[in-house]
Chain A
């Protein structure tokens, strides 16, 4: 259960069970919440995310073996999007690695629904590091939106120079104190907006949440639920584990080849992942826009106009930002090109759609999801 449960309830959130956590799904309407993050600033309780600490002289060697991206590139204060591959070349989880001390100390942020599985997997494939599940120690609040950086700088200005906070680069992070407790301010996110994800000890989450709301009052800082978090990430075509990626996904088919460094190192499942790439991709993950009415939902079939199955939908929603009905799908490589007309089998009705460029929304302030 999130330490912020009673805060959410007092603020009128609709709560749902998510991966065993009791989390806020909606505060004042998913659509309005999405638009608020794009125009002002939103606070997300993401305390359900898991954190695994990897320490010691063998920490780098262990992480190189466990992940697909090149961890040796990470210097102190840098972060990296990556994958935990399995032996079949599928994906155990998608993660962000934060380098606290190069070669000695890393914090790995993992998905809530996978936290126990990931910890067991990392421990089972450990190459001599000290691996500790710190999920219970950390709460997390994401502050996202055009005013997000200003808000975080204000709240942490007692312990850290405001400009120093604002100068933390994308996919970098820095330690800072809140009421005497060590926090990490990470310039990362899952919305496509600028802002921070704040790692804060669980017993300070409530105080930090209140401070962000209070000092963000004039910036119109508002709490945002998990529902809008999902539409925001869908607008960016960011992958969600369980939808776009799972134990059977090849990272190249998922469009995540840029975090797979085949030439740099050896890692779990490397030969299987490389073989799929060498054979040529059978499917590709694409974004589409509905032409006919209806929402394409997870698992719906993608078909040709003459009803041949050519793929499967992974996510679909109405984009609050553009008003368009959008979706993400795996599609046979022959059809996976921008402008291609396809149809989605929506409960027996072939609804027309067209493959489009992604992200679905264009912004000047767009950040890439790490490198």
Chain B
């Protein structure tokens, strides 16, 4: 079993995204487990800044040689920043999914939505199943 970096401070989804929350700002990426399962990421489709996203709804696509996966938003809100770096060089997601490979920053509509996301211990259980 691979030893994935699953920081305690983050929130996680069953779709294997991480969400790092700073007040009403939420940075979103895919987890190390997700990038490892996908293999070499070759293409990423992300929303434009200003676009609205909804918790549990797709907001983009991450594509590897093996598979195409929807990116599912962990929270509702407005996209205020997109990581142009991963659009140009999707391999960054494989190299550093938890930091440099972040995807979007979302201004959250409501922090209450965080209550249904997983914390690190639960997510660790999910990927070690």
Q: A and B from one assembly?
A: yes
**46-101 of chain A: CB within 8 A of chain B:** none
Distance A347 CA – B40 CA, assembled complex (angstroms): 20
Chain B contacts for A227, CB-based, 8 A:
65-66
* A26:B42 contact, CB within 8 angstroms: no
Distance A84 CA – B61 CA, assembled complex (angstroms): 40
With A294-B63, A295-B63, A297-B68 known to touch, is A30 a contact of B40 (CB < 8 Å)?
yes
Q: Which of A31, A318, A347 sits near B61, CB closer than 8 Å? A: A347
Interface string of A276-313 (1 = CB under 8 A from B): 00000000000000000111010000000000000000
* B43:A30 contact, CB within 8 angstroms: no
Q: Which of B39, B61, B63, B68 sits near A30, CB closer than 8 Å? A: B39
Name the residue on B nearest A292 (C-beta). Answer: B43
* B65:A317 contact, CB within 8 angstroms: yes
Count residues on chain A whose CB falls below 8 Å from chain B CBs.
14
Chain A contacts for B42, CB-based, 8 A:
293, 295, 318, 325
Distance A295 CA – B63 CA, assembled complex (angstroms): 8
Chain A contacts for B65, CB-based, 8 A:
30-31, 227, 231, 295, 317-318
Query: Which residue of B39, B42, B43 has the most chain A CB atoms within 10 A of its CB atom?
Result: B43
Distance A295 CA – B61 CA, assembled complex (angstroms): 12
Interface string of B43-83 (1 = CB under 8 A from A): 10000000000000000010101101000000000000000
Name the residue on A nearest B90 (C-beta). Answer: A293
A339 on interface, CB distance cutoff 8 Å: no
Chain B contacts for A318, CB-based, 8 A:
40, 42, 65
Distance A318 CA – B65 CA, assembled complex (angstroms): 6
Name the residue on A nearest B36 (C-beta). Answer: A14
Distance A39 CA – B88 CA, assembled complex (angstroms): 29
Interface string of B6-27 (1 = CB under 8 A from A): 0000000000000000000000
* A295:B39 contact, CB within 8 angstroms: no
Q: Which of A26, A31, A231, A295 sits near B43, CB closer than 8 Å? A: A295
**25-40 of chain A: CB within 8 A of chain B:** 26, 29-31
* A29:B39 contact, CB within 8 angstroms: yes
With A231-B65, A318-B65 known to touch, is A294 a contact of B39 (CB < 8 Å)?
no
Chain B contacts for A347, CB-based, 8 A:
61, 68
* B40:A294 contact, CB within 8 angstroms: no
Name the residue on B nearest A297 (C-beta). Answer: B68
Query: Which residue of A317, A318, A325 has the most chain B CB atoms within 10 A of its CB atom?
Result: A318
Chain A contacts for B40, CB-based, 8 A:
29-31, 318
Interface string of A220-233 (1 = CB under 8 A from B): 00000001000100
* A26:B39 contact, CB within 8 angstroms: yes
Distance A361 CA – B40 CA, assembled complex (angstroms): 21
Chain A contacts for B66, CB-based, 8 A:
30, 227
**1-50 of chain A: CB within 8 A of chain B:** 26, 29-31
User: In angstroms, how far is the closest chain A Cβ from the Cβ of B46?
Assistant: 12
Distance A295 CA – B40 CA, assembled complex (angstroms): 13
Chain A contacts for B61, CB-based, 8 A:
347
Distance A227 CA – B65 CA, assembled complex (angstroms): 10
User: In angstroms, how far is the closest chain B Cβ from the Cβ of A175?
Assistant: 39
**230-279 of chain A: CB within 8 A of chain B:** 231
Distance A343 CA – B39 CA, assembled complex (angstroms): 26
Name the residue on A nearest B94 (C-beta). Answer: A29
User: In angstroms, how far is the closest chain B Cβ from the Cβ of A295?
Assistant: 6
Chain B contacts for A295, CB-based, 8 A:
42-43, 63, 65, 68
Name the residue on B nearest A231 (C-beta). Answer: B65
* A293:B39 contact, CB within 8 angstroms: no
Distance A325 CA – B65 CA, assembled complex (angstroms): 10
Jot down 9 A-B pairs with beta carbons below 8 A, ordered by A. Answer: A29-B39, A30-B66, A227-B66, A293-B43, A294-B63, A295-B42, A318-B42, A318-B65, A347-B61
